[in-house]
Structure 1
Amino acid sequence: MQRYQAVDPTDLTKIHETSLKILEEVGVIMTYEPACELLAKHGAKVDGKKVLFPRKLVEESLKLTPSSFTLYARNPDGNVLFNLEDTHYCGPGGSCFVADLDHGRRPSKKEDFINLIKLYQSMDLIEMHHVPCEMTDVDPAIRNKAVVYETMKYSDKPLMPFMFTYEEAKECIEMAAAPFGGLEAVKNKKPVLLADPCTVTPLCYDDKSLATLMAFAEYGQIQLINSLAMAGATAPVTLAGNVAVQNAEILAGIVLAQCVNPGTPVIYSASGSNANMRTCSLTIGSPECALMSLINGQLAKFYHLPCRISGAITDSKCFDPQLGYESMMNLMTAEMAGGNFILHGGGIMATYDTVSFEKSMIDYELMGLVRRIHRGIEVNEETLAYDVIKEVGPRGQFLTEEHTYEHFRDAHYLPFISDSLNVAQWEAGGKKTVAERANEKWKKMLEEYVQPDFPAELDAELRKHLIP
Structure 2
Amino acid sequence: MPGGRYRPLTDADVQKIHHAALEALETIGLADAPPSGVEILTKAGAVQGDDGRIRFSPALVEDSLALACKSFTLHGRDPRHDLELGGARVHYGTAGAAVNMVDVDGRNYRHSTVQDLHDAARIVQQLDNVHFLQRPMVCRDIEDNREMDLNSIYACCAGTTKHIGMSFSEPDFALSGLELLHMIAGGEDAWRARPFMSNTNCFVVPPLKFATEACQVMENCIRGGMPVLLLSAGMAGATAPSTVAGAITQAVAECLAGVVYVNAVKPGHPAIFGTWPFGLDLRTGAMCVGSGEQALLSSGCAQMHQFYGIPGGAAGGACDSKLPDMQAGWEQMCSNVMTGLAGLNMVYEAAGMHASLLGFCHESLILSDDLIGQAMRCVRGIEVDDETLALDQMREVCLGGPGHYLGTGQTMARMERDHVYPSLGNRMSPKEWDEMGKPDLIANAIAKKEAILSQPSPVAFEPSVDQDIRARFNIHLPR
Residue 422 of structure 1 and its aligned partner are, at CA, apart by 0.6
1:446 aligns with 2:446: no
Deviations 1:315-341 (A, max 9, x none): 111344321111111111110221111
After the TM superposition, list the runs of 4 or more consecutive aligned residues in structure 1 that deviate by more than 6 angstroms.
Answer: none
Q: 1:318 to 1:156 in 2, by over 3 A?
A: closer
Verify: 1:214 aligned to 2:219, yes or no: yes
Q: Match of 1:258?
A: 263
Between the aligned partners of 1:453 and 1:285, the Cα distance in structure 2 is 35
Q: Aligned to 1:354, which of 351, 359, 369?
A: 359
Whole-angstrom CA distance in 2 between matches of 1:121 and 1:55: 43
Q: 1:416 aligns with which of 418, 423, 430?
A: 423
1:85 to 66, 69, 88: 88
Give the Å deviation of 1:377: 4.0
The alpha-carbon distance between structure 1 residues 118 and 18, as it changes in their structure 2 partners (threshold 3 A), is same
- 1:440 Cα offset (Å): 2.5
Counterparts of 1:357-436 in structure 2, within 5 Å, are: 357-393=362-398, 395-436=402-443
Contact 2:135 2:165 in 1 (8 A): yes
> Which residue in 2 is equivalent to 1:276?
281
Distance 1:240 1:326 in 2: 21
Aligned to 1:74: 77
Counterpart amino acid of 2:176? E
| Structure 1 residues 179 and 436: CA distance shift in structure 2, 3 A | closer
Which residue of structure 1 aligns with residue 122 of structure 2? 118
Q: 1:377 to 1:246 in 2, by over 3 A?
A: closer
Quote the residue 1:51 is aligned against: 54
Select the residue among 10, 32, 57 that pairs with 2:12.
10
Q: 1:403 to 1:218 in 2, by over 3 A?
A: same
CA–CA distance in 2 between the matches of 1:235 and 1:382? Answer: 49
Match of 2:138 in 1: 134
Residue of structure 1 equivalent to 2:174? 169
Q: Do the aligned partners of residues 465 and 346 (structure 1) sit closer, same or farther apart at CA in structure 2, a change above 3 Å counting?
A: farther
Q: C-alpha displacement at 1:163, in angstroms? A: 0.5
* 1:20 maps onto 2:22 in alignment: yes
Q: 2:297 aligns with which of 292, 301, 315?
A: 292
SS of 2:231's equivalent in the other structure is strand
Instruction: Give the C-alpha shift of residue 450 in structure 1.
Output: 4.6
TM-score with structure 1 length normalisation?
Answer: 0.93
TM alignment of 1:172-211, pairs within 5 A: 172-187=177-192, 189-198=193-202, 199-211=204-216
Q: 1:36 to 1:183 in 2, by over 3 A?
A: farther
Q: Structure 1 residue 465: deviation in Å?
A: 4.6
Q: Secondary structure at the match of 1:99?
A: strand
With normalisation by structure 2, the TM-score equals 0.91
Q: Deviations over 1:77-110 (max 9, x none)?
A: 2222212132122223311111132243211112
Q: What amino acid maps onto 2:187 in structure 1?
A: G
**Which amino acid is the alignment partner of residue 416 of structure 2?**
R
- CA shift at 1:49, angstroms? 4.2
Which amino acid counterpart does residue 408 of structure 2 have in structure 1? E
CA distance in 2 between partners of 1:52 and 1:65 (Å) = 19
Counterpart contact for 1:95–1:133, Cα < 8 Å: yes
- Aligned counterpart for 1:248 among listed residues 242, 247, 253: 253
CA distance in 1, matches of 2:280, 2:104: 30
Counterparts of 1:376 and 1:360, CA distance in 2: 25
- 1:43 aligned partner, one-letter code: G
Out of 131, 146, 152, the position equivalent to 1:147 is: 152
1:179 and 1:356 map into 2 onto residues whose CA distance is 28
Which stretches in structure 1 are left out of the alignment for 5+ residues? none
Deviation digits for residues 193-218 of structure 1 (CA, Å, limit 9, x no counterpart): 21121121101122232012212222
Of stretches 393-402 and 347-356 in structure 1, the one that deviates more from structure 2 is 393-402
1:263-342 pair list within 5 angstroms:
263-342=268-347
1:419 deviates by 0.8
Q: What is the total number of aligned residue pairs between the two structures?
A: 467
Unaligned runs of 5+ in 2: none
Tell me which moved more, 238-247 or 64-73.
Answer: 238-247
Q: Which amino acid aligns with 2:279?
A: N
SS of the counterpart of 2:347? strand
